[in-house]
Chain A
Amino acid sequence: MSVLSVRDLQVSYKTQAGPIPAVRGVSLDIDPGEVLGLAGESGCGKSTVVNAILRLLPAGTTVSGEVLLNGEDVLSMKPGRLRAVRWTGASVVFQGAMHAMNPVQRIGDQLAEAIVLHGQAGEKEALVRVGNLLEQVGMPPRRLRDYPHELSGGQKQRVMIAMALACSPSLVIADEPTTALDVMVQAQVLTLLNKLQRELGLAMLFITHDLSVLVEVCDRLAIMYAGRIVEEGPSTPVFETPAHPYTEALAAAFPAIGDQRFRRAPSGLGGDPPQPESVPEGCSFHPRCPLAFDECPTIVPELYEAGEARRAACLLVPKREAVAP
């Protein structure tokens, strides 16, 4: 059974100008021990998906579809059950670790918060476990007496990771865990996450806009554009031979150092992602797509089979498949 199974998730935010659809039908599956990467530009709905999984969206947001966490539907849970499932079923490594900690509490108390809240241990026992958690993420246990301002950015992110592991959840959601960290620290944090994931056999949902990070960390990739998944499949093939023009543009945006091709022609993708309140008709990517043809503005592409265990939402995919054999 999948740890997390999202079916046709739709989220629209309530604003004064009317509802704004941020996620328009996303389906995901994560098996035990698997790492799924979710990538896309800012504003494509990645973080909304995360918040919908734990029902952290602001009041008034309409959510439909199904979010099954260990087989239990999160969206229909009663408040008490929901609170119990938060962090024990799925925990989050938040983006911007700098601000995700209460400045007036010692980090030990904040780490113990989840353990104590879920009644897994008393205050004293929790602090012992917190010491072990800190060691697991490579920090001396004595640091639990420190306040957040006494830690560096990388250390704070380590503490956030330790916090995510506090209640031994079956799923860890890493929401852009390396933003605002410099490259060296980024690498350390990624190595740490990778190591812990393998040691503990965690299922992980890894969210970032940095494709190169995902390829190193993830088993499978899902690429989001304008609130939908446009391509998914095993990470290396998706990155190296993208089936969707959007994935291709994303992958090409990361130059390989030393490769002459990138040096001569640094590539990027023109234009901006569409505003969620006015997503283009047909394929939402067609105004920016270099390969768009006459059918793109009228037909909404579904996820077509695109090779082994791969799917992509581009009208060119079925055409190519038809020609290839």
Chain B
Amino acid sequence: MYRKNTMGMIGLITLILFVAVAVFAPLIAPREGLEATCPCNGTPFSPPSWGFPFGTDNFGRSVFTLTVWGTRISLLVGLLATAISMLIGSVIGIVAGYYGRWPESVLMRLTDWFLVIPFLPLAIVLASVLGRSLTVIIFVIGVTTWPSTARIIRAQVLSVKTRPYVERSRALGSSSWHLTTRHILPNVAPLIFANTILTVAIAILSEATLAFLGLGDPLSISWGTILQFAFGAGAAGAGQWWWLIPPGLAIVMVVLAFTLCGFALDEILNPKLRER
């Protein structure tokens, strides 16, 4: 089914490539290349050449090395932030959908509240209050992206909980915990999965945004921080395109790949979309 979806396959192959780069980063480009003082560095601001395929930055570091190692941080932040977001979103969605009545009202108003807060100001405030570290970035992205998941999950739970097998299980003496974990969760899991993949794309983009605005962890190189360094050093004005394009293109490709995979899965899991 998935293999027949061309867009989905393109996305999946791109993703596998990026994950391979992240995993095998030490083999592709030595870690010393990240140090400003590494003897392996070349002349600052030099355009692409055989030795430095993506050119060098203001310290003479290879932009290729930076981009390769940036993959690790960007993907890590994207996945961990999504994990937090999915956990909060699924729990709130299932609890609200299953219990209904006042827990639903309270949780859904909370969700609405988080949904209407503009992401960037909230993230900036949280990041500046809590300090600049990778954990904070992951936390900030996690707690700001869950509301849409919670709404989608709740809607599906409302439908699943009225199905006869849930009633049957209740009739044979199931507790709420058993019903939600054994019957409702497995039946909303495909939706959670498809949604997770779309959220990873958003999380990676958010990380790049925050890092570009200087709220990232300055010690861990991500695509966002590379762009921020480049911008700070005036790369855009000096025409040093090789410093900006690789990380920028990497962000676009990964986000696009996750989105393509997400849409492809959504289409497969959600038959109503197939007709479009």
- Give residues in A with beta carbon < 8 Å to B: 54, 56, 59, 83-88, 91-92, 94, 96, 99-105, 110, 113-114, 117-118, 163, 166-167
Contacts and interface: CB of A to CB of B under 8 A. Distances in A.
Interface string B24-53: 000000000000000000000000000000
Most chain A C-beta atoms within 10 Å of own C-beta, residue among B171, B174, B175:
B171
Given A94-B164, A96-B164, A99-B165, A104 B187 contact: yes
Nearest to A79: B175
Given A56-B170, A94-B164, A96-B164, A102 B186 contact: yes
Interface of B: 101, 163-165, 167-175, 178, 182-183, 186-187, 189
A102 B183 contact: yes
Given A100-B164, A100-B165, A102-B183, A56 B171 contact: yes
A94 B164 CA distance: 9
A102 B172 contact: no
Most chain A C-beta atoms within 10 Å of own C-beta, residue among B169, B172, B189:
B172
Contacts of B173: 83-88, 114, 117-118
Nearest to A173: B171
6 contacts: A56-B170, A83-B174, A83-B175, A100-B164, A100-B168, A105-B182
B186 A87 contact: no
A87 B171 contact: yes
B186 A56 contact: no
A92 B167 CA distance: 11
Given A86-B172, A99-B165, 13 more contacts: A56-B170, A56-B171, A83-B173, A87-B172, A96-B164, A100-B164, A102-B186, A103-B187, A104-B186, A113-B172, A117-B178, A163-B168, A167-B172
Nearest to B189: A104
A113 B169 CA distance: 8
A117 B174 contact: yes
A99 B162 CA distance: 11
Across the A-B interface, give the 3 residue pairs with the lowest CB-CB distance, nearest first: A87-B172, A86-B173, A99-B164
A163 B187 CA distance: 21
Contacts of B171: 54, 56, 86-87, 91-92, 94
A104 B183 CA distance: 8
B165 A102 contact: yes
A101 B165 contact: yes
B96 to A, nearest CB: 16
B97 to A, nearest CB: 15
A105 B172 contact: no
Nearest to A99: B164
A100 to B, nearest CB: 4
Contact of A117 (B164, B167, B172, B189): B172
B259 to A, nearest CB: 27
A114 B172 contact: yes
B201 to A, nearest CB: 27
A129 to B, nearest CB: 15
Given A94-B164, A96-B164, A117-B172, A102 B178 contact: no
Contacts of A86: 170-173
B104 to A, nearest CB: 13
Contact of B163 (A54, A59, A87, A99): A99
Contacts of A110: 165
Contacts of B187: 102-104
A100 B171 CA distance: 11
A235 B40 CA distance: 97
A117 B174 CA distance: 7
A222 to B, nearest CB: 22
A100 B172 CA distance: 12
Contacts of B165: 99-103, 110
A282 B239 CA distance: 94
B28 to A, nearest CB: 41
B268 to A, nearest CB: 16
B102 to A, nearest CB: 12
Contacts of A101: 165, 168
A94 B165 CA distance: 9
Contacts of B178: 117
A80 to B, nearest CB: 9
A118 B174 CA distance: 9
A117 B165 CA distance: 15
Nearest to A96: B164
A113 B187 CA distance: 17
Contacts of B163: 99
Contacts of A117: 172-174, 178
Contacts of B175: 83
A78 B167 CA distance: 19
B166 to A, nearest CB: 8
